Amino acid sequence: MTSRHQEGAANSAEDRGGRLPLPTRAGGLGGAVPRSSALLLLPGKISAPSDQLQQPRQSATHARLDGGPGARRQMELQDLMHISRARKPAFILSSMRDERRTRDHLLCLDGGGVKGLVIIQLLIAIEKASGIATKDLFDWVAGTSTGGILALAILHSKSMAYMRGVYFRMKDEVFRGSRPYESGPLEEFLKREFGEHTKMTDVKKPKVMLTGTLSDRQPAELHLFRNYEAPECVREPHVGQNVNLKPPTQPSEQLVWRAARSSGAAPTYFRPSGRFLDGGLLANNPTLDAMTEIHEYNQDLIRKGQGSKVKKLSVVVSLGTGRSPQVPVTCVDVFRPSNPWELAKTVFGAKELGKMVVDCCTDPDGRAVDRARAWCEMAGIQYFRLTPQLGTDIMLDEVDDTVLVNALWETEVYIYEHREQFQKLIQLLLSP
């Protein structure tokens, strides 16, 4: 089915009572449900779904949608209309956040390259349901790699509907040729979006931290690019141990575009950004590192006699870029071969083992999520992990529009299937 036919089907469904079809296994449309549920909820509505809602006929892993430009334009216009209709003036929301809220909210965004589109779609749903921009729902935002770019976009008041369009344009500019890609197009993109001379501390709310990997030492160390002064208790690199180790740049001098570039310097995709590699090597899911940072920040306030400024966390929201399907591995055996057949087997095993090691180091799900959930439960913090199961393994540098729009559609179905969890989250985010 072409994009034009799908748009016509959606419009005719709307004419029949504002009901939007859901995807089926064959890629068609069926199982009509109210538009407010297929796109989560309209702004300001957090009540329970209507009894008329129907379950999608198939899971998100079988959902498919033609990725033509018409479908993307329609999606962008709908989201901009819904969000702008409910968005309140920034100064009012900032005042509400500072004066009414007694506890802090933390948003954590995983790395994942162009799959950051999944995070964008999740944030669009949250903005629609709350009627409030992401920037005014959270007090802390942590991001890694593509999540770091989105954290900065939130800080600089860029709408997620706008960022979705930016990502579709950016991939064609940045992922050209073969890996490793030229760094110039990515850096120009970041300068264009955030400014060439903008500093991290130019915008102070919400507090934002981006992860990076200091690779000029062994072992490498995690570094946080902040828009606030680091707490004194943070164990920064031990400069005194080696005269060749430079101290980190202060937040007031740190360029925003360079912080984003450093956090997203994925090995084999881009060359290092100075002494920095991608933050995903050490914290592809930055939740626990962000919680540690907030605890140390609060402890520093107490030591300085500013305990009245301390706000404990009440909600942690962790957004992923989608889980890839689990596949069997036949061999990871590496040994000294005695014949050509064994040599081929060893080479294949080394390749599979190398991929497994990288995947284990950068896996944002699994035990990383289990630990974050357990820590939050022990501390009495509400924890939400939101990431859809994807039908295919999507590369960080995927440029096929159809593949990416399919991932967005799978995310929409995931939002519908987990609508009760989303409603609970929105209620907590909107409570004082």
Number of CB atoms found within 10 A of residue 422's CB: 21
Task: Give catalytic status of residue 289 as yes or no.
Answer: no
Query: 45-59, 176-190, 405-419: which range is least confident on average?
Result: 45-59
User: CB under 8 Å to 302, separation ≥6 — which residues?
Assistant: 310
The catalytically annotated residue of 104, 136, 139, 278 is 278
**Highest mean pLDDT: which of 204-213, 217-226, 260-269?**
204-213
User: What integer pLDDT is reported at residue 57 of this predicted model?
Assistant: 36
Average pLDDT over residues 298-324: 92
pLDDT tens across 138-194, in order? 999 999 999 999 999 999 999 999 999 999 999 999 999 888 899 899 999 999 999
d(CA 264, CA 278): 5
User: What integer pLDDT is reported at residue 76 of this predicted model?
Assistant: 52
Q: Where are the domains of the chain?
A: 91-234+247-323+366-430, 331-364
C-alpha distances out from residue 165 to 30, 114, 168, 370, 404, Å: 27, 12, 5, 33, 12
d(CA 201, CA 27): 47
CATH of domain 91-234+247-323+366-430: 3.40.1090.10
Number of CB atoms found within 10 A of residue 30's CB: 14
pLDDT tens across 382-409, in order? 999 999 999 998 988 999 999 999 999 9
E strands present in 138-220: 140-144, 207-214
Question: What amino acid occupies position 154?
Answer: I
User: CB under 8 Å to 233, separation ≥6 — which residues?
Assistant: 296, 299, 300, 303
Would you report the helix, strand and coil content of the chain in percent, each value rounded to 5?
A: 50, 15, 40
d(CA 10, CA 319): 28
pTM to 2 decimals?
A: 0.75
The catalytically annotated residue of 3, 36, 145, 215 is 145
Residue entry with tokens 């915008």: 203
Residue entry with tokens 């509907």: 161
Q: Is residue 260 a contact partner of residue 70, using CB atoms and an 8 Å limit?
A: no
d(CA 188, CA 342): 48
Whether residue 112 is predicted with pLDDT greater than 80 in this model: the reply is yes
Task: Give catalytic status of residue 308 as yes or no.
Answer: no
